[in-house]
Amino acid sequence: MFMLKVGVLASGSGTNLQAIIDACNEGKINAEVAAVISDNRNAFALERAREHGIESFFSDASDKRRHEEEIDRIFGERDVGLIVGAGYMRILSPQFVKKWYGRIINIHPALLPSFKGTDGQGDALKYGVKITGCTTHFIDEETDHGPIILQAAVRVKDGDDRDSLAARILKVEHQILPRSIDLFEQGRLEIHGRKVRILPGDSWMEYALPDVLYSEGF
């Protein structure tokens, strides 16, 4: 049976990578992580990959062109069908994105288009919003901009600091990122300009956390 091969880009601890690995191992996704690449040689994501017998690579991003050539080669050699940015803190070039467009997704810890950039959680807290959350989206040539796949909302509580809010958002990220991969693997995502249509099929609604506003399709 065909199984989607996923290539993961990660810069940090790799908790979203772990959520993907767990979903694959539990049979929630008909996929396997074929390789993990990090721009940070000390990223724990690389150790997570090794612990699960997944090929892992450090790629120096100081030379952006070479870095992207390495990503393209490593994933290409392993027949990767979907690239996932899971806490990857680099901006990919328009040339790279064009080659992989429609086969490369990202997760962002805010409800896009609000609070783009590297600190979506902190920016939401500083702005004083009452609801924030996370977004999965196809990557395009602009930062945190591509067509949105899934979003889930998380309440901002009185007394929240950045860490407490980020921790609650992260729990929800661990749900919608594997679900987005699952929808891609099923061929249920259709890009129509700015919108992603989710074709009919099974739902993961029962997996949503109690405090999450979450829906699929349009």
144-200 tens-digit pLDDT = 899 999 999 999 999 999 999 999 999 999 999 999 999 999 999 999 999 999 998
Question: If one looks up domain 107-218 in CATH, what number appears?
Answer: 3.40.50.170
Question: Could you tell me where the DSSP H helices lie in 26-93?
Answer: 44-51, 64-77
Is the link from the previous residue into 113 a cis peptide, with omega within 30 of 0? yes
Per-residue pLDDT tens over the stretch 67-81: 999 999 999 999 999
pLDDT band at 201 (very low <50, low <70, confident <90, very high): confident
63 confidence band (pLDDT: 50, 70, 90): very high
217 pLDDT higher than 60: no
Residue 202 predicted with pLDDT over 90 = no
CB 172 within 8 A of CB 154: yes
145 is catalytic: no
DSSP state of 127: H
What is the C-alpha separation between 29 and 62, in angstroms, rounded?
Answer: 34
Strand pairing of 131-138 and 104-108?
Answer: antiparallel
pTM for the full model?
0.92
Phi, psi of 68, rounded to the nearest 5 degrees: -70, -35
Burial environment of residue 91 by CB neighbours within 10 A (0 to 12, 13 to 18, 19 or more): middle
Structure token digits, residue 79:
């027949």
Which of these is catalytic: 108, 145, 174, 192?
Answer: 108
d(CA 88, CA 158): 30
What is the pLDDT, as a whole number, of residue 216?
A: 57
Distances from the Cα of 7 to the Cα of 123, 140, 161, 184, 192, angstroms: 29, 17, 33, 14, 25
Query: Domain 1-90's class?
Result: alpha beta
The pLDDT tens digits of the residues spanning 120-143 come to 999 999 999 999 999 999 999 998
Domain ranges of the chain: 1-90, 107-218
Q: How far is the C-alpha of 117 from the C-alpha of 156, rounded, in Å?
A: 19
62 CB-near residues (< 8 Å, 6+ apart)? none
Would you give the distance in Å from CA 27 to the centre of its chain? 19
Predicted confidence at residue 22, as pLDDT, reads: 96
Same fold, 1-90 and 107-218: yes
